[in-house]
């Protein structure tokens, strides 16, 4: 019974991991326990900018590939493609922003304790930079890392703590990661912590629903079309999201979500070389994802 309970907990948590898409790369959260390929699309509605008559919109296209090499090692590749649109403002970049990354996870277990070390070198820049390897610069390189310890206090409770370094808060930040995982019964899983909290309900054998709140940001090295001007775009936000996962087949899953982004903040350089910091109103986003387990 103890083994079955742990397997169910891992399954429910892994299913929810596919929906945790954001502008940044997240290796602070526990990766899925199996190899998978997933794609996701998010469309954010138009939002008004403060201190101007302008508006902004955003699209996210995500790709993730993860291989389970053994019980201890996992390796993968991924791509985050964000399209930022501003009107009537004209940013120095074209608004097409990419982050390519290669995550590596090393996990060890002993009794009721688990330790995970994750590392992901990344290249984060605008398409004007990405299309020409001669333009790659150290400013476009990100090194994301996480060290997470967890202890299973009982069959219903797990304590997690550690440290992470990434761009989920916009500029690179090293921050603590702490949380308590609760499983009051076979159908409910609760993760209370920082930077992410999540509530998951197993509605039926093939249907899972979850609520999640987490930071959602990133930083990109950008250049204008002529490759003469360079700067950085920094995006900060939080997202509160409701997600439904349908396991259509034991190896195939469909995800739909609706969320609210708030505390949106943009730091960027405009085409006239002025550096601006803008905030936008809370905004709704819709998402869909497909995942194949292998």
Tens-place pLDDT, residues 167-199: 999 999 999 999 999 999 999 999 999 999 999
Q: Please state which of the ranges 93-97, 206-210, 235-239, 281-285 shows the lowest mean pLDDT.
A: 93-97
Percent of the chain with pLDDT over 70: 92
Q: What is the CATH number of the domain that holds 77?
A: 2.40.160.40
Cβ atoms of 216 and 239 within 8 Å: the answer is yes
pLDDT score for 22:
58
Q: What is the tally of structural domains in the chain?
A: 1
pLDDT score for 20:
53
pLDDT score for 132:
87
In the chain, what are the helix, strand and coil shares in percent, each to the nearest 5?
A: 10, 65, 25
Which parts of 111-251 are beta strand (E)? Answer: 113-126, 141-152, 157-166, 173-185, 188-194, 197-202, 207-215, 218-223, 230-249
pTM for the complete prediction?
0.89
Domain membership of residue 114 as a residue range = 2-293
> How many whole angstroms separate alpha carbon 52 and alpha carbon 80?
29
Cβ atoms of 104 and 96 within 8 Å: the answer is no
Provide the 10 A C-beta neighbour count for residue 132. 11
Tens digits of residue pLDDT in 9-50? 343 334 344 445 556 688 999 998 899 999 999 999 999 998
pLDDT score for 3:
37
> How many whole angstroms separate alpha carbon 65 and alpha carbon 227?
31
Tens digits of residue pLDDT in 214-267? 999 999 999 988 888 899 999 999 999 999 999 999 999 999 999 999 999 999
> How many whole angstroms separate alpha carbon 218 and alpha carbon 233?
8
């Amino acid at each position: 019974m103890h083994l079955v309970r742990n397997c169910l907990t891992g399954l429910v948590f892994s299913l929810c991991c596919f929906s945790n898409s954001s502008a940044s790369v997240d290796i602070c959260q526990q990766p899925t326990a199996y190899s998978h390929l997933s794609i996701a699309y998010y469309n954010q509605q138009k939002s008004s900018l403060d201190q101007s008559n302008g508006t902004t919109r955003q699209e996210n296209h995500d790709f993730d590939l993860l291989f389970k090499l053994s019980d201890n090692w996992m390796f993968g590749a991924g791509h985050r493609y964000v399209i930022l649109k501003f009107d009537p403002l004209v940013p120095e970049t074209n608004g097409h922003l990419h982050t390519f990354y290669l995550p590596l996870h090393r996990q060890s277990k002993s009794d009721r304790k688990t330790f995970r070390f994750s590392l992901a070198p990344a290249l984060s820049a605008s398409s004007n930079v990405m299309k020409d390897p001669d333009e790659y610069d150290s400013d476009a390189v990100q090194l994301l890392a996480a060290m997470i310890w967890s202890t299973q206090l009982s069959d219903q409770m797990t304590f997690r703590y550690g440290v992470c370094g990434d761009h989920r808060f916009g500029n690179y930040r090293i921050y603590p990661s702490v949380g308590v995982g609760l499983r009051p019964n076979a159908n409910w899983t609760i993760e209370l912590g920082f930077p992410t909290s999540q509530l998951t309900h197993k509605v039926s054998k093939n249907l899972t629903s979850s609520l999640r709140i987490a930071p959602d940001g990133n930083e990109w090295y950008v250049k204008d079309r002529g490759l003469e001007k360079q700067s950085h775009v920094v995006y900060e936000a939080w997202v509160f999201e409701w997600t439904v996962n349908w396991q259509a087949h034991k190896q195939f899953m469909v995800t739909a979500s609706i969320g609210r982004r708030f505390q949106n903040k943009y730091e960027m350089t405009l085409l006239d070389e002025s550096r601006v910091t803008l905030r936008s109103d809370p905004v709704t986003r819709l998402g869909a994802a497909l995942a194949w387990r292998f």
